[in-house]
Amino acid sequence: MIWWLILAVLIAAPLVIEHRRRVMDDAARGSAKGQFVELSQGVTHFEWHGPPRGPVIVCIHGLTTPSFVWRGMTRSLAVAGFRVLTYDLYGRGYSSRPKGPQDRKFFLTQLTELLAREGVDDDLTVIGYSMGGAIATTFAATYPERMRQLVLLAPAGMRVVKGGLVGFVKRTPLVGDWITLALYPRLLRSGIRAERGIPGSVPSVGDLQEAEIEVKGFLPAVLASLRGILSEDLSADHRAIAAYGLPVLAIWGREDSVIPLSCIGTLAEWNRNAQQEVIDGAGHGLTYTHSDTVLRLMRGWMKMPQT
């Protein structure tokens, strides 16, 4: 009997811990910069940077690191004359934690509603990092006429992980949910701490990343994205972007252990016209560990406001 009790406690512990995590509510949002808007799926936190007029850049962050990931880049883009919009995807940062699938429709609804609310129409430069690259790709493929150019930083969407622990978690209900709550916090913290000591443009980025784990709904959101947009085949989207002739720049980290460098070949197969650059020594955190290099590559390629 005692063993059954121990087993029950072990099974229940991750669920109880998740239930007791702090809630993202008005009190938690009190210290946040930027603005909030109630959209159809919940509250979205966003922030504008730069001049009141000019072509808009929309920055879309990745799976686990919210919009603070852009702090080392927004000022430079704003100085160049762009109006820069950063926002927190649902389930991250100061935005709401709605339940349910997080597929392309889910993320496109958030973005299109936010742009409509802010009166943003077209001539958009969309920059997507990691999972944000997948979201940016689906937006560009759906609304190419609204786009000025597309920038992908270590983008997800070139391959779908089906094997290993991640593949098992994605395809296994209940058990996969429990594994995410029980094991993912330790795995994520390990990855974050491995980057500590690496110079970067976002102060205390590791502390900010670890704080996300302690917010209720963050871990289920990560799993919902793994089962959602990160399980979708984006080949048709990239081919549609290529057929439309939309300018695309992709920047990769040579030492990236999350998005392998072999994805360069996949993107080249889907879109031969995409310009691709590799940053030596950069891992998956290139947006904050190699911000200056990313910005230099972008400035050398992008259609700037004055042109």
Strand partners, 250: 152, 276
- 165 contacts 266 by C-beta, under 8 angstroms: no
What is the chain's alpha carbon radius of gyration, rounded to the nearest angstrom? 19
Segment 140-152 shows an average pLDDT of: 98
| Helix (H) or strand (E) segment spanning residue 49 | strand 42-49
Which range is most confident: 29-33, 51-55, 126-130? 126-130
Is the whole-model pTM more than 0.85?
A: yes
282 φψ region: left (φ > 0), alpha (ψ -120 to 50), beta (else): beta
Segment 32-53 shows an average pLDDT of: 96
Least confident of 6-15, 197-206, 218-227: 6-15
- 123 contacts 148 by C-beta, under 8 angstroms: yes
Sign of the alpha-carbon dihedral angle for 157, 234, 127, 131:
negative
Cβ-Cβ contacts under 8 Å for 256 (sequence gap 6 or more): 154, 282, 283, 284, 286
Domain ranges of the chain: 42-301
- The whole-angstrom separation of Cα 301 and Cα 307 is 12
pLDDT digits (tens, 9 = 90+) for 70-123: 999 999 999 999 999 999 999 999 999 999 999 999 999 999 999 999 999 999
pLDDT, residue 307, reads: 47
Indicate the pairing of strand 124-129 with strand 275-279: unpaired
C-alpha distance from residue 98 to each of 94, 101, 194 (Å): 12, 9, 31
Strand partners, 183: none
pLDDT, residue 306, reads: 65
- 209 contacts 192 by C-beta, under 8 angstroms: yes
Least confident of 18-32, 129-143, 205-219, 284-298: 18-32
Q: How much is the mean pLDDT over the chain?
A: 94
Chain Cα centroid distance, residue 290: 17
Query: What six digits make up the tokens of 301?
Result: 């390629």
- 82 contacts 125 by C-beta, under 8 angstroms: yes
Residue whose pair of structure tokens reads 């999972």 in the numeric block: 131
Given pLDDT bands bounded at 50, 70 and 90, which one contains residue 7? low
Tell which wins on pLDDT, 304 or 21.
21
Sign of the alpha-carbon dihedral angle for 302, 68, 184, 215:
negative
User: What is the fold, at CATH topology level, of the domain defined by 42-301?
Assistant: Rossmann fold (3.40.50)
pLDDT digits (tens, 9 = 90+) for 109-129: 999 999 999 999 999 999 999
